[in-house]
């Protein structure tokens, strides 16, 4: 049974939602864990969708130069493109959206965001909210509220696509409607009964009455 959600704008997370970068992410946090003799499984369980600086600050030993660690890991992550691919159907979906009707809202830095999107052949929107431009990252709603403001619409008139618990919480807290991409566990998605899709291949978007009408499978 299909379901249609109407919105004035769509806000997309990047990693895990439009781009599958899990192989790189796992390698980065494995390197971080190796340096500080930490449990990488524990880090991976909480880091997805969260800004790198916040995860590093949470797990690095007291006295660690967090800025230096993040700068080094960011450089490694920027250079590592092995295994990064577009989520199925992402290109067709983005190509179907009118200019100025969607934004990218990611916990990644701007240079990495642009490289990753271009590297898998996905378009880059006019509005991008990245880790450097927010005071508080996901799960705080600030990134999504900022994107909606830049698009000139209320967050409550937006549809968010997310895959990670932190991002799902951010989208919900912003007042937007949220669709979950993939099968990662999410207490928030389960509690609220949010719609979930495996990828973007079966999505259909109609433009009518000044809005976007997204048909979910």
By annotation, the residues acting in catalysis are 13, 15
Diameter over CA atoms, the chain: 56
Count other Cβ atoms within 10 Å, centred on residue 190.
Answer: 11
Strands (E), the chain: 3-7, 9-12, 19-20, 85-86, 102-105, 127-129, 158-162, 177-181, 196-197, 204-208, 211-216
Cα(195)–Cα(27) distance, rounded to whole angstroms?
A: 30
Place of tokens 């997309």: 12
Instruction: Quote the crossing angle between the two packed helices 40-47 and 22-36, to the nearest 10°.
Output: 130
Place of tokens 């990670």: 164
Count other Cβ atoms within 10 Å, centred on residue 85.
Answer: 14
- The angle at the Cα of 116, spanning 108 to 27, to the nearest 5 degrees, equals 70
């Amino acid at each position: 049974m299909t379901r249609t959600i109407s919105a004035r704008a769509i806000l997309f997370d990047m990693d895990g939602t439009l781009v599958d970068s899990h192989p790189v992410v796992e390698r980065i946090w494995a390197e971080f864990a190796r340096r500080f003799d930490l449990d990488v499984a524990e880090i991976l369980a909480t880091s997805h969708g969260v800004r790198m600086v916040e995860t590093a600050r949470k797990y690095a030993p007291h006295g660690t130069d967090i800025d230096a660690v993040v700068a080094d890991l960011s450089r490694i992550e920027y250079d590592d493109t092995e295994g990064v691919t577009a989520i199925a159907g992402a290109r067709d979906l983005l190509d179907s959206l009118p200019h100025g009707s969607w934004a990218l809202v990611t916990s990644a830095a701007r240079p990495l965001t642009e490289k990753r999107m271009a590297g898998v052949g996905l378009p880059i929107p006019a509005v991008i909210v990245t880790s450097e431009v927010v005071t508080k990252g996901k799960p705080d709603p600030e990134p999504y509220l900022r994107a909606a403001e830049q698009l000139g619409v209320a967050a409550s008139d937006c549809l968010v696509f997310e895959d990670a618990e932190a991002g799902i919480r951010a989208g919900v807290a912003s007042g937007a409607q949220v669709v979950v991409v993939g099968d990662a566990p999410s207490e928030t998605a389960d509690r609220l009964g949010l719609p979930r899709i495996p990828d973007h291949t079966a999505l259909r978007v109609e433009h009518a009455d000044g809005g976007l009408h997204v048909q979910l499978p």
